[in-house]
Structure 1
Amino acid sequence: IHGKELHGITYESPIPSAQVKSCILLAGLYCEEATAIIEETLSRNHTELLLPDLGAKIECRPLSDGRILTLLHPGSSLSASQIRIPGDFSSAAYFIAAALLVPGSEIRIRNVGINPTRTGFLQILHRMGAEIRLDKAVLASEPYADLIVRYSQLHGDTNGRITIGKKIIPTLIDELPLLAVIASLSECEMVLQDATELRVKESDRIASTCENLKAMGADVQSRKDGMKICGHPCKSHPLHGATIDPHHDHRIALSFAVAALLADGETRIPDEDCIRISYPSFFTDLKKVLS
C-alpha cells in the first residue's frame, strides 16, 4: 500500500461488517470530504460512539428505504479524553451460557457492555426462558451493567422452535457457535439462517460447529447459510465427551469448553492456545467460578 491523499466516499456495505465500517471511518478522518457508509442492518457501532467522544462529527440515521446511514463530517479535530471501556459482552457470554446450563448455578458478571448492537444473544436467551436480569445499569455512550444469571430450563417458542435470521444476526454473530451448543442442551429446535458470514471467520464456523457437535453426539444438520440443531434435554447427558478440533478458532474452543461442562465423560481441546486471541485467562477464570 502506497499512501497518498485520501478523499471521502459513499460505501454501500453488502453485508453488515463493523470491521470494514471502522476502517472506512478511521480513514475518513483524513479526508476533506464527508464519508458515508450505508448498511442494510446496523452493525456494531463502537467506533461511531467513540469518535464523537474524541471530537469527531458523526451522525447515524435511517434512510427512507430502511437502510442505515452513518455520515462522518470532515474537518474534525480530535482530542484526548478519559473513556471507560466496559467488559466485553462476547467474553461474558460463555459464563452466561454456563450459568444457564449447569443446574444450581447463579453468577453476577460485573460491568458488562450492553450496547444494543451486541446483545442479540440476550434476546434469544430470553425467548428461550432464560433468567437473566440487569443490575446497576449505567446509560453512558457505551452502556454497561451487572448481569445476574441463574440456571434455567431452556426451551423453544410456543411451537418448540427458535429461528435466528437476518435482522438479528449482526448483533450476535460471534455468539452463534455458543447458541448452537446451548440449543443442543435445550428443549428446542433451533434454526440458524442467513449466516453465511460464519463461513469466512477464523474458521468455517458452520462446518466446525457442526463437526464438533456431532462428535459430542448432538443432532445437528449443516446448511449453506446456517444449521439446524435439535436439542434432547430429556437425556440425562445429551452430549458425551469428545476430542474437539477448534480449527485454530477461539470462538469454537470457548464454546465447546462450555459444552464440556455438561458432557458425559472427558472432553479434550488440544488447540486450547487459540483462545489467547480474545480471552487468554478464560480457563483460569473458569476454574475460579467452578471452585
Structure 2
Amino acid sequence: LRLMMGMLAPQDFVSVFTGDSSLHKRPMGRVIKPLSRMGANIVGRAGNTKLPITVVPAGKKLQGFTYDMPVASAQVKSAILLAGLFAEGTTTVVEPYQSRNHTELMLESFGVKLDYEGTAISIQAQDKLTAPEKIVVPGDISSAAFWLVAASVIPDSELLLKNVGINPTRTGILDVLNDMGADITLTNERSSGSEPVADILVRSASLHGTSFGADIMPRLVDEIPAITVAAMFAEGETVITGAGELRVKETDRIQAISDQFNKLCECITATEDGLIIRGGSQNVWRQGTCFSYDDHRIAMTLAIAGMAGNGVEIEQPDCVAISYPSFYEEMAGLY
C-alpha cells in the first residue's frame, strides 16, 4: 500500500486506497507527509493519515526534494523513491540507519541509476525503464525466521532451509541468533538477480541471552516476535530496545507479545520501546489459549512457542495466510 501510494501519487488519475480492518489502523501519515511536500494531493481519514485514502491528481509534476527520515523505514523510503521516478529534479532520502534495500536493487535491475552517499540515496525522473529478462524472487527470511528459531530451541533438531534471501539489510535475525550461540551455517551462497541467496542449515544449540537496540532494528523489526521465543529458551536475560515501531504494526506487537506469550511462560516484561525476557531452564512452560489479534506474525510465533513448549491453542489462527498460507501444513510435516 505504501509503495503503491508513492507510485500513484504523481499520476494524472484518481486512485482510492482501502483495506481490511488491520490496514485501516495502520499509520499512513509517515508516507503522506513527504509525498505531500513533493506536491502530491492526498486526502484521507484522521487528518489524512489513515485509510480510506484518495490520491487526487496534483495538476502539475511533483518536485524532487531532500527528506531526512526521522525513523529508518524501507516502506517510506521506497514510496519516496518511486515517486521520484516521475518528479522534476533530484529526490533524495536520508535515513538514520540503512533499512532494507530491495527497492533500490530492483530499480537498478530495471536500469535506474541511483546515487549513494552514506545513508542518502538520490534518484531522478526516468524516461524509460528496461525490464530484465527474468526476475527470481528468493524465499523471505522473515518467514524462515520461525523455522530458524524452532530448530534452534527444540532439542535434536536439524533443518535445511533452501533458497532464502540473505540480503544484508534483512539478516539481523541471523546476527542476533548467532550472538545467542545458535548453530547456523550458510551454504550454496549465490546471487538471484541482484539479491544474495543461500541455503541455511540450522541445528539445535544451547542459547544464551543477548541485548540489541535501535541500530539493528531496521534489519530485524519483523522478526522480534520469533526472537522473543528464542530468548525465552535461552539462558539468561535478553533486553530489546529501540523497537517502538512494533507498537504500530498490524497490532501493538510489544503488548501482544507480553500479554499472550506470558500465558505460556511468564518471563516477559514489556517496556515503552522493547522487551525484557528472562530465559532459561528455570522457566515453567504451560499450555494456554492465546489470541493472535489477527496478526500473522503473532500467530506463527505462538505456534512455534507451543511446538517448543507445552502446546498452545491459537484464537484466530487463519491470519497466517497473509504472508504464509502453508505455514501449518509445513509445521505438521516437521513436528
Do the structures match in fold with TM over 0.5? yes
Compute the displacement of 1:232 (Å).
2.4
Within-5 A mapping of 1:31-180: 31-62=87-118, 68-81=119-132, 82-140=134-192, 141-156=194-209, 162-180=210-228
Number of aligned residue pairs: 277
Aligned equivalents of 1:36, 1:233: Cα separation in 2: 50
Aligned-pair RMSD on alpha carbons?
1.3
- List, as ranges, runs of 4+ consecutive aligned residues in structure 1 with deviation greater than 3 Å: none
Alignment match, 1:282:
327
Aligned equivalents of 2:158, 2:176: Cα separation in 1: 19
Match of 2:308 among 257, 262, 267: 262
After TM superposition, the score normalised by the length of structure 2 is 0.80
Alignment match, 1:242:
288
Aligned equivalents of 2:117, 2:215: Cα separation in 1: 17
Deviations along 1:38-59, one digit per CA (max 9) or x if unpaired, are: 0000011100011010011112
Matched residue of 2:312: which SS?
A: coil
Compute the displacement of 1:76 (Å).
4.8
Please say if 1:3 is aligned against 2:3: no
Please say if 1:228 is aligned against 2:282: no
Aligned equivalents of 1:137, 1:146: Cα separation in 2: 7
Q: Contact between 1:218 and 1:231, CA under 8 Å: does it hold in 2?
A: no
Aligned equivalents of 2:294, 2:67: Cα separation in 1: 32
Match of 2:299 among 248, 253, 257: 253
Aligned equivalents of 1:78, 1:243: Cα separation in 2: 51
- Partner amino acid, structure 2, of 1:250: H
Compute the displacement of 1:166 (Å).
1.1
Q: Contact between 1:57 and 1:76, CA under 8 Å: does it hold in 2?
A: no
Q: Contact between 1:185 and 1:233, CA under 8 Å: does it hold in 2?
A: yes
Matched residue of 1:99: which SS?
A: helix
Q: Larger % of strand: which?
A: 2
Matched residue of 2:135: which SS?
A: coil
Alignment match, 1:65:
none
Aligned equivalents of 1:52, 1:286: Cα separation in 2: 37
Aligned equivalents of 1:103, 1:38: Cα separation in 2: 44
Matched residue of 2:97: which SS?
A: coil
Please say if 1:208 is aligned against 2:256: yes
Aligned equivalents of 1:220, 1:185: Cα separation in 2: 12
- Partner amino acid, structure 2, of 1:251: R
Deviations along 1:88-110, one digit per CA (max 9) or x if unpaired, are: 00001111111111111101100
- Partner amino acid, structure 1, of 2:263: A
Q: Contact between 2:226 and 2:301, CA under 8 Å: does it hold in 1?
A: yes
Q: Contact between 2:87 and 2:124, CA under 8 Å: does it hold in 1?
A: no
After TM superposition, the score normalised by the length of structure 1 is 0.92
Q: Contact between 1:239 and 1:262, CA under 8 Å: does it hold in 2?
A: no
Alignment match, 1:194:
242
Aligned equivalents of 2:72, 2:136: Cα separation in 1: 26
Sequence identity, in percent?
42
Matched residue of 1:243: which SS?
A: strand
Matched residue of 1:268: which SS?
A: strand
Q: Contact between 2:232 and 2:279, CA under 8 Å: does it hold in 1?
A: yes
Q: Contact between 1:96 and 1:149, CA under 8 Å: does it hold in 2?
A: yes
Q: Contact between 2:149 and 2:229, CA under 8 Å: does it hold in 1?
A: no
- Partner amino acid, structure 2, of 1:244: C
Query: Runs of 5+ in structure 1 lacking a partner?
Result: 63-67, 157-161
